[in-house]
Chains A and B, each alone.
Chain A
Amino acid sequence: MSLLAVRNLDVNFDTPDGEVHAVTKLNFSISAGDALGIVGESGSGKTQTMMAVMGLLAENGHASGQALFKGHDLLQMDTAELNHHRGKEIAMIFQDPMTSLNPYLSIEKQMVEVVMHHQGLSKAEARAHALEMLSAVRIPDPERRIRQYPHEYSGGMRQRVMVAMGLVCEPDLLIADEPTTALDVTVQAQICQLMSELRRKSNTAIILITHDLGVVAGLCDKVLVMYAGHPVECGSVEQIYYRPRHPYTKGLLDSVPRLDQPEEKGLHAIPGNPPNLLSLPRGCRFRERCPKAFADCVEAPPMSVDSEGHAYRCFLDEPA
């Protein structure tokens, strides 16, 4: 049985301008100890998918479908039930480490409260546990650092604290929402290395949300590509990177700047913009930007799966 199985997930937001369809008919699953990367540009629904799973959608948002965590549907749970899983079995790391820690509480209070709440440990035990975790994410001098406040930490250190805080209860699943986007490149590499180490050590499954294909390649075994709220392609890292089936995935891969290509070719960009989520076009959602679109694309392509388990949402029966 998979650890988390998302089935037919729809996430919609009521806005004064109408209903925004942030996520449509999303299916994916992840097994214990696996690492799944979810990629797509801004507004493709990757973050909202995870917010729905965590029960953290904004008030005007609602999710339908199923998110089965160890067989129990997270979407059907009320807050009290969710709180048995959140922080304990599923932890989440957010995009912006500068604002995601409470500036009014010391790191100690913020770490200790999770452990005490979920594991019923005493304050001293929880503190020892937190110190251990801070050493594991390589915060120097944790005894002194733990008493400090977030503003005394740099961005990279705050994100390491977030990682430590997420992993302190040894969750089965860690959701990392663009954990390295706000950080500079060297720090990015540290955070990624840290997560993959911890994953190996404690067999924690990781869902990594990002638009950075490089980070995914380094950390994940499976990749899900999303476009305008739709999953468009899903497969192993090798399948996605070497044999992409969807023109959008191909476009994404081509827009990664490369040193081994002649300079005069310049940077590749996918022309146009993603469709308006208030009024999605009929048929394939990528149709208007797709270099290979043809007549059939006015109908919505179904998700097809090839013999190797590589899934893609395109009528083209050839590598893109």
Chain B
Amino acid sequence: MLRHSLRRLLGLIPTLLMLITVAFFMMRVAPGGPFDSEKSLPPEIEANLNAKYHLDDPLLKQYFHYLGQVAVLDFGPSFQYKDWTVNELIAQGFPVSMTVGVLAMSLAFIVGTLLGIAAALRQNTRIDYSLMGVAMLGISIPNFVIAPILILVLAVYAGWLPAGGWDGGFASMVLPVLTLALPATAYIARLTRGSMIEVLHSNFIRTARAKGLPESVVIRRHALRPVLLPVISFMGPAMAGMISGSVVIERIFSIPGLGSYFVQGALNRDYTLVMGVVILYGVLIILLNFVVDLIYAWLNPKIRYDETS
């Protein structure tokens, strides 16, 4: 198991190298550059700027220079936010996005699985239909519609919560976390329900019932593991998306997270910032998929890796 994990983590390096290469050259292929603006700069100044950021070097040289920087985890200066390095921007934005993302995903997981199981156990009753109806709404209503409604009801009319802003306190987290969690909750609830219904019809559940175990034990001990498998594999990549920041939610609630940097960076051709965020996202995806694999192996004995093999 340990050996297998190490090998998997080493496999991260070529994947990231490929990601960096593709992203690097795609950015450069896109028309425009970081210092293009409506008023064109005097050619001397532009030449000086390009020289300062090594943008006048041959592309391959720039690429290997950048690889060297990344190897020591230095993502370079931001072209747009000129007083900041990309490392500083990420260090500032990522914790905020991660807090919101992790809270939202945990909420979605707990509430989603519970609702899904409740619906599955009452399959084709009114409770099941209404839960799944609400879940369908949760999936299909976009978050830029849900967010203003939540703000209007909970912040403006009721006055319980701030309408936006971020002070790291609980009250300022509630609305963004709720908004972010809602579609994921709905999706997980539907996933869990489907999975539960399928598992409850399997032969080994019949065996467990024939053993005379109480239904609660049948569900907890025998059904839960296989039910959670598809949920876990959904949560890995979804988690990466959620903790690397949602542009819409960060804009609406004025949260200083990572999501807005990504979009701004792409629009401004802020090469280093975009590369930094892309690499971070790539690392997150790979790491979380790795975690998913570990949880999978823990839940499912069939895919546990032997030391011998």
Partner-B contacts on A (CB < 8 A)? 54-56, 59, 79-80, 82-88, 91-92, 94, 96, 99-106, 109, 113-114, 117-118, 149, 151, 162, 165
Residue of A nearest to B124 (CB): A59
Q: How many A-B residue pairs have CB under 8 A?
A: 76
Segment 255-309 of B: residues with Cβ below 8 Å from A: 299-302
Q: Is the CB of A113 within 8 A of B210?
A: no
Contacts of A118 on B, CB cut-off 8 Å? 212
Contact between B301 and A103, CB atoms less than 8 A apart = yes
Please tell me which one of the listed residues A100, A106, A165 contacts residue B203 in the complex, with CB atoms under 8 A apart: A100
Q: Are A83 and B212 in contact (CB under 8 A)?
A: yes
Q: Are B221 and A105 in contact (CB under 8 A)?
A: yes
* B300: A residues at CB distance < 8 A: 103-104
Give the chain B neighbours of A79 by CB distance below 8 A: 215
Q: Which residue of A lies closest to B214 (CB)?
A: A83
Out of B203, B221, B302, name the residue touching A94 (CB < 8 Å): B203
Query: Given contacts A104-B301, A113-B221, is CB(A86)–CB(B209) below 8 Å?
Result: yes
Chain B residue at minimum C-beta to C-beta distance from A88: B212
CB-CB nearest 8 A-B residue pairs = A87-B212, A86-B212, A87-B211, A99-B203, A102-B204, A83-B212, A149-B301, A104-B225
Do B301 and A113 touch across chains, with their CB atoms under 8 A apart? Answer: no
On whether the beta carbons of A102 and B212 are closer than 8 Å, the reply is no
Which residues of chain B are within 8 angstroms of A151 by Cβ–Cβ distance?
Answer: 301-302
Can you name the residue of chain B whose Cβ is closest to the Cβ of A50? B210
Q: Which residues of A contact B301 (CB under 8 A)?
A: 103-104, 106, 149, 151
Q: Say whether A117 contacts B204, CB under 8 Å.
A: no
Q: How far is the CA of A118 from the CA of B210 in the complex (A)?
A: 12
A113's partner among B123, B202, B213 (CB-CB below 8 A) is: B213
The answer to the question of B251 belonging to the interface, with a C-beta cut-off of 8 Å to chain A, is: no
> A102–B214 contact, CB under 8 A?
no
Asked whether, in the complex, the Cβ of A103 is within 8 Å of the Cβ of B221, the reply is no
CB within 8 Å of A: which B221-257 residues? 221-222, 225-226
Identify 12 new A-B residue pairs, CB closer than 8 A, beyond the known A100-B203, A117-B217. A83-B214, A88-B212, A91-B210, A94-B206, A94-B210, A96-B203, A99-B203, A99-B204, A100-B204, A102-B222, A103-B301, A104-B300
B67 contacts the other chain (CB 8 A): no
Contacts of A94 in B (CB 8 A): 203, 206-207, 210
Q: Which of chain B's residues have a CB closer than 8 A to the CB of A85?
A: 212
Counting chain A CB atoms within 10 Å of each CB, which of B203, B207, B226 scores highest? B207
Give Cα A19 to B190, complex, Å: 31
Inter-chain contact B211/A86, CB cutoff 8 Å: yes
Q: How many residues of B contact A (CB 8 A)?
A: 23
**Are B211 and A114 in contact, with the CB atoms below 8 A?**
yes
Judging by beta carbons under 8 Å apart, are A103 and B222 in contact?
A: no
Q: In the complex, are the beta carbons of B207 and A102 less than 8 A apart?
A: yes
Within 8 Å by CB of B204, from A54, A87, A103, A113, lies A103
What is the bound-complex CA distance between A113 and B221, given in angstroms? 10
Q: Is B208 an interface residue (CB 8 A)?
A: yes
Could you say which of B212, B221, B302 contacts A82, with CB atoms under 8 Å apart?
Answer: B212
Chain A's nearest CB lies how many Å from the CB of B232? 13
What are 6 residue pairs bridging A and B, where the CB atoms are less than 8 Å apart in the complex?
Answer: A80-B214, A86-B212, A94-B206, A106-B301, A113-B211, A149-B302
Kindly report which residue of chain A lies nearest to residue B224, judged by CB atoms: A104
- In the bound assembly, the distance between CA atoms of A86 and B210 in angstroms comes to 6
Contacts of A56 in B (CB 8 A): 206, 209-210
Q: Which of B145-174 contact A (CB under 8 A)?
A: none
Assembled-state Cα–Cα distance A100/B123 (Å): 23
A84 to B213, CA, bound (A): 9
In the bound assembly, the distance between CA atoms of A96 and B202 in angstroms comes to 11
Contacts of B207 in A (CB 8 A): 94, 100-102, 162
Residue contact A83 to B203, C-beta cutoff 8 Å: no
Q: Are A103 and B203 neighbours in the complex by a CB distance under 8 Å?
A: no
Complex CA gap A56/B205 in Å reads 10
Q: How far is the CB of A183 from chain B (nearest CB, A)?
A: 16
A103 proximity list for chain B (CB < 8 A): 204, 300-302
Residues of the A chain whose Cβ atoms lie less than 8 Å from the Cβ of B209:
55-56, 86
Selected from B123, B210, B215, B225, the residue in CB contact (under 8 A) with A87 is B210
User: Bound complex: CA of A165 vs CA of B212, how far in Å?
Assistant: 12
Chain A hits for B221, CB < 8 A: 105, 109, 113
Bitwise interface map of B from 4 to 23 toward A, beta carbon under 8 Å scored 1, else 0: 00000000000000000000
Q: Which residues does chain B contribute within 8 Å of A55, judged by CB atoms? A: 209
A246→B14 CA distance, assembly (Å): 74
B212 touches A105 (CB 8 A): no
Give the Cβ gap from B224 to chain A, nearest Cβ, in Å.
9
> B213 touches which one: A54, A83, A105, A149 (CB < 8 A)?
A83
Task: For B226, list chain A residues within 8 Å (CB).
Answer: 104
**Closest chain A CB from B13 CB (angstroms):** 33
B213, B214, B299 interface centre (most CB from chain A within 10 Å): B213
> Whole-angstrom distance between the alpha carbons of A174 and B213 in the complex?
17
A59: nearest chain-B partner, CB-CB: B123
B269 to chain A, nearest CB (A): 51
Q: Which residue of A lies closest to B302 (CB)?
A: A151
Cβ–Cβ < 8 Å partners of B212 in chain A: 82-88, 114, 117-118
Interface string of B176-212 (1 = CB under 8 A from A): 0000000000000000000000000011101111111
Q: Shortest CB–CB separation between residue A119 and chain B, in angstroms? A: 12
Residue of A nearest to B201 (CB): A58
A104 touches B299 (CB 8 A): yes
Q: Which residue of B lies closest to A89 (CB)?
A: B212
Bound Cα distance A99, B178 (Å): 41
**Bound form: Cα–Cα A82–B217 in Å:** 15
- The docked-state distance in angstroms from the alpha carbon of A102 to that of B223 is 9
B206 engages A87 (CB within 8 Å): no
CB proximity of A120 to chain B, nearest CB, Å: 13
